[in-house]
Amino acid sequence: MSLKIAFIGFGKSANRYHLPYLNIRPDFELAMVYTRKPVDEALSKPYQENGTVFTTNLDDVLNNPQIDLVTICTPASTHYELAKSFILSNKSVIVEKPFVDSVEHAKELLSLGKERGVLVTPYQNRRFDGDFLAVKKVIEQGFLGDILEVESHIDYYRPGTVNKPGTKEQGTFYGLGIHLMDRMVSLFGRPDSVVYDIRNNEVANAVDNYFDVDLHYGTQNKIKVKAEFVVATDYPRFIVHGTNGSFIKYGADQQENDLKAGIMPGTDGFGEDSPMYYGVAKYRNSNGDWIEKQIKTPVGDYGAFYDDVYETLINDKPKLVTDEQAITDIELLEAGFKQPSPSVYQMPNFEI
């Protein structure tokens, strides 16, 4: 059984992070695309030839009873209202990151989805980055012992590129922090407390281009997530320390690099990491001997998110991103702006 899917928005997000993966998945049929303005024919023609309808009238999607699933790829400020309108039309929705602007809105949409019997989920595709999959594998295999510290970075050298005022949703913490924190929440759950340093370290009164945020789990485990736009030297994407050893991984996931080069999912070698960037684990074995070895990076696949969505909708598999995780992610974002940085936030007990 194939699912008929509609896209709201046809920009970089849809065309880079979603559609290349759906194009090779026969379980999904791209039935409709809504955009505010007509799409360039060169971009839309290949889809139109396969039966996709392009429209500038949102009601065409809302009132189409054949649409099973809607993916929202529009600016963050529009996510809440658009998602709510489709849920009320009894359609399942995938919402690009960040899901919504507030915990209140996240809870409302998730609750409304349960009432209507439809799937509501944020698009947390970065759970399928190869570098994160390597870290997840190392942690789950247990040879590092109890995890004491994890550090996760997304750094660039792009000075002066974030230089205008705006809402918090337009800043780097909402844009990139959501990925880094969601992955840690998927591994470790809700933290007990959070320490925030969110700012623009180049331009006063502009949206943030820098964050350094620590998630504390009890007194033993601390997770640092960090992004900065003036880093000229490669820094590890992940550093993991445990009671029995450490793991360090350089190099970003290769999917985006391949997509930018015009190499599409399904092509031989797509998304494969270079051996020079394989992470290195150093740990003690059961005999007390020190072992140092490379860990081959799993091949990332953002399309696996849609595979999980299909299993949820067709076979009642539990959602990949649980409601608690989705709400926790937004709570972690929102709490970063409750007080001027630096600040500390004590996480309350979870309530939905």
Last residue in a domain, options 108, 123, 138: 123
Q: Which of the pair, 44 or 191, is modelled with greater confidence? A: 191
- How many CB atoms sit inside 10 A of residue 234's CB? 12
1: confidence class by pLDDT, cuts 50, 70, 90? confident
Residue 311 lies inside a defined structural domain of this protein? no
What's residue 42's pLDDT?
A: 85
pLDDT 10s digits, 150-182: 999 999 999 999 999 999 999 999 999 999 999
Last residue in a domain, options 123, 152, 173: 123
72/99 same-domain check: yes
What's residue 125's pLDDT?
A: 97
What's residue 352's pLDDT?
A: 79
Average pLDDT, integer, range 220-234: 95
The parent domain of residue 91 ranges over: 3-123
- What are the start-end ranges of the E strands in the chain? 3-8, 28-34, 53-55, 69-72, 92-95, 120-122, 147-155, 193-196, 198-199, 210-217, 221-228, 238-242, 245-249, 279-284, 290-295, 343-346
Residue 247 lies inside a defined structural domain of this protein? yes
Q: What is the mean pLDDT of the chain?
A: 96
Query: Is the CB of residue 34 less than 8 Å from the CB of residue 61?
Result: yes
Cα dihedral angle (186, 189, 192, 193), rounded to 10 degrees? 10
pLDDT at 286 over 90: no
Residue 318 lies inside a defined structural domain of this protein? no
Average pLDDT, integer, range 77-101: 97
Residues 6+ apart with CB under 8 A from 233: none
Helix (H, G, I), strand (E, B), or coil: what is residue 200? coil
Last residue in a domain, options 123, 146, 175: 123
Average pLDDT, integer, range 111-140: 97
pLDDT at 202 over 90: yes
Q: Positive or negative CA dihedral for 110, 113, 114, 119?
A: negative
- Predicted structure pTM score: 0.94
pLDDT 10s digits, 303-338: 999 999 999 999 999 999 999 999 999 999 999 999
The enclosing domain of 11 has a CATH number of 3.40.50.720
pLDDT 10s digits, 3-55: 999 999 999 999 999 999 999 999 999 999 999 999 988 888 999 999 999 99
31/131 same-domain check: no
155/105 same-domain check: no
Query: Is the CB of residue 207 less than 8 Å from the CB of residue 200?
Result: yes
272/168 same-domain check: yes
pLDDT at 240 over 90: yes
The enclosing domain of 295 has a CATH number of 3.30.360.10
Q: Return the structure tokens found at 172.
A: 């780097």
